[in-house]
Structure 1
Amino acid sequence: MAIGSGIAPLVIFMGVGAMTDFGPLLANPRTLLLGAAAQFGIFATVLGALTLNYFGIISFTLPQAAAIGIIGGADGPTAIYLSGKLAPELLGAIAVAAYSYMALVPLIQPPIMKALTTDKERKIRMVQLRTVSKREKILFPAVLLLLVALLLPDAAPLLGMFCFGNLMRESGVVERLSDTVQNALINIVTIFLGLSVGAKLVADKFLQPQTLGILVLGVIAFCVGTAAGVLMAKLMNVFSRHKNQPADRLGGVSAVPMAARVSNKVGLEADGQNFLLMHAMARTWRGDRLGDRRRGDAQVRAGDVGRHPSRRCGCRPTSGLI
Structure 2
Amino acid sequence: MWANLHNVTVCAMAWGSWWRGRSGTGPGAPGGSAERPSAQAVLGAVADELSALHGEQWRVEGEEVRGPGALAVRLGEPREDDPDRLELVFLADRDRPETAVPDQLAGADGGFGVGGFGVGGGTGGGGAGGGDQDPLRRGVEVWASTAGAALIELVAHNGRFAGHLDPTDPDGLPGWHAIHGGVVGWGTGKRFHDVQDWLVRNPVLPALAPALGGDLGRDQLVGVQVCFGGGAGRRTAEVRVHGEVHAAASAALAALDWPRVTEGDAYARTFVLLVRRAGARPPAEVGLRAAGRK
TM range (shorter): under 0.3
Question: Greater share of helix residues, 1 or 2?
Answer: 1
Please report the TM-score for the alignment, with normalisation by the length of structure 2: 0.24
Specify which structure has the higher proportion of strand.
Answer: 2
Using structure 1 for the length normalisation, give the TM-score. 0.22
